[in-house]
Amino acid sequence: MIEVDKQLTVSLIEELERQPGGQIRACYQCQKCASGCPISFASDWLPSQIIRLILLGETREVLSSRAIWLCLTCSACTARCPMGIDLARVMDVLRQRAVEEGLAPAATPEAVFNELFLKSVRRHGRVYEMGMLTRFKLRSGALMRDVEKFPTMVAKGKIALLPPRGGDRKTVREVFDKVEKKK
Partner 1 sequence: MKYAFFPGCSLDSTARDFRKSTEAVCGRLGIELEEIPGWTCCGSTPGHATDATLAVALPVVNLLKAEKMGRDVVTTCAACYSRLRAANDEMSHESDVRATVDEATRSQYRGTVRVRHLLDVLVNDLGLAVIRDYVERPLAGLRVACYYGCLLTRPPKVVAFDDPEHPVALDRLMATIGATPVEWPAKVECCGAGLSLTSPDVMRRLAFGILQMAERARADCIAAACPLCQSNLDLRQPESVRAAGSGLSLPVLYFTQLLGLALGLEPAELGLSHLFVSARPVLEKIPAGAMR
The one among 61, 85, 125, 135 contacting partner 1 by CB under 8 A: 125
Contact flag: residue 73 with partner 1 (CB under 8 A) = yes
Contact flag: residue 12 with partner 1 (CB under 8 A) = no
Which residues are CB-neighbours of 20 under 8 A, at least 6 positions away? 86, 89
The one among 47, 86, 104, 135 contacting partner 1 by CB under 8 A: 86
The one among 25, 46, 99, 131 contacting partner 1 by CB under 8 A: 99
Burial class of residue 61 (count of CB atoms within 10 Å of its CB; 0-12, 13-18, 19+): buried
Per DSSP, the residues of 10-39 read HHHHHHHHTSTT--GGG-----HHHHH-TT
The one among 55, 92, 101, 131 contacting partner 1 by CB under 8 A: 92
- Our separate counts of H helices and E strands in the chain read 11, 0
User: What is the rounded CA–CA span in Å between residue 116 and residue 131?
Assistant: 9
Contact flag: residue 144 with partner 1 (CB under 8 A) = no
Contact flag: residue 41 with partner 1 (CB under 8 A) = yes
> Which C-beta is closer to partner 1: that of 32 or that of 52?
32
CA 83 to chain centre: 23
> Which C-beta is closer to partner 1: that of 49 or that of 136?
136
Contact flag: residue 156 with partner 1 (CB under 8 A) = yes
Contact flag: residue 160 with partner 1 (CB under 8 A) = yes
Burial class of residue 6 (count of CB atoms within 10 Å of its CB; 0-12, 13-18, 19+): exposed
**Least Å distance between CB 10 and partner 1?**
19
Q: 92, 75, 93: which is closest to 84 by C-alpha? A: 75
User: What is the rounded CA–CA span in Å between residue 111 and residue 100?
Assistant: 12
Positions that interact with partner 1 (CB under 8 A): 38-39, 41-42, 69-70, 72-76, 78-79, 86, 88, 92-93, 95-96, 99, 109-110, 112-115, 117-118, 121, 125-127, 129, 133, 136, 140, 145, 149, 152-153, 156-160, 164, 166-169, 171-172, 174-176, 178-179, 182-183
